[in-house]
Amino acid sequence: MAEDKYRWGMVVDLDLCTGCQACVVACHAENNVPTVGEVETARRRSMHWIRIERYWHGADDELRAEFMPLLCQHCQNAPCEPVCPMYATYHDPNNQLNIQVYNRCAGIRYCGVNCPYKVRHFNWFDPYFPEPLNEQLNPDVTVRRRGIMEKCMFCIQRIRRARDEARARGEPFNTEEVKPACVQTCPTDALVFGNLLEPESEVARLARSPRAFVLLEDLGTEPSLFYLKRGESYVRTG
C-alpha cells in the first residue's frame, strides 16, 4: 500500500546500557550473521551488525569503561547510498530504511569506505556456521555468500511480518508491536524501537528528550538512531 509511510528509528539510552552484549548475540541468531572466529576477529573482520564500543574514561583510580552500542544509523541522508554503482545500497522510501540488496552487491566496498560510523560489514570468506549453529539458521533471512556487503536492516523481516499479519487480520498496523531482535533481548530496555512519524510513540517521545543526540551530527547524515546522553543528573521520563 502506497500510503504506508514509516520512519523507523531507535533510541539508545546510554545510561541503561551495561555492555552485556546480549543484543549482539540476539542479532547474530536472528539475522544469520556468521561468527568469524578469533583469528579473523583479531584482524578486525568481525561481523557484528550491532556492536558494543567500549571507551575508557579517566585514568588510574578514576578509570571507568563506557559502552556505546553501535549499529547502522539508517541515515536519511546516507553517505553509503549514492556511491554504490549497483544500487545495492538503496533507500527504502516507504520505511525510510537503508536497505542492502545482497544479490545486487558486487563487493566494491565503496559504501564501507564512505560510512562514517563503520557499521557495514564485508563477507571476506564464505560464511561458516559451526555445529550446532548451523541448526538454528533463520529461514526468513538469506545467508550471504562471500564477496558482498551486509549490515543491520532493523530486522525488516519482523517489520514486514507484523505489517502483513495485521493486514491479514484486517486490523490497523500497531507499530509498537515490532521489536528487532536486539531491542527484544536488551535486559535493561536500553534500546527502544518504533515509528518516528507517530509523535506519541515512545521512540518519538524519547528522541525529543533534551538528552537526545545523534552521532557525528556535523556530517549532516540525519541518522534515525538517537542516543540519550549519559549522566547521573538526568532521570529518564516517559
Residues that bind other proteins (CB under 8 A): 40, 43-46, 53-55, 70, 79, 82-87, 104-110, 112-114, 116-118, 121-126, 146-149, 215-216, 219
- Smallest gap from Cβ 116 to other proteins, in A, equals 5
Please identify, using beta-carbon distances, which residue of 87 and 94 lies nearer to other proteins.
87
Number of residues that make up the chain:
238
In the block, cell 565503496 appears at 110
Please identify, using beta-carbon distances, which residue of 126 and 165 lies nearer to other proteins.
126
Please identify, using beta-carbon distances, which residue of 70 and 192 lies nearer to other proteins.
70
β-sheet bridge partners, residue 227: 12, 213
Q: What share of the chain is helix, strand, coil (3-state, %, to 5)?
A: 25, 20, 55
- Smallest gap from Cβ 127 to other proteins, in A, equals 10
- Smallest gap from Cβ 104 to other proteins, in A, equals 7
R_g over Cα of the chain: 18
- Smallest gap from Cβ 3 to other proteins, in A, equals 24
- DSSP string across 114-139: H-TT---EE--S-----TTGGGG--T
Please identify, using beta-carbon distances, which residue of 131 and 218 lies nearer to other proteins.
218
197 and 5 in contact (C-beta within 8 Å)?
A: yes
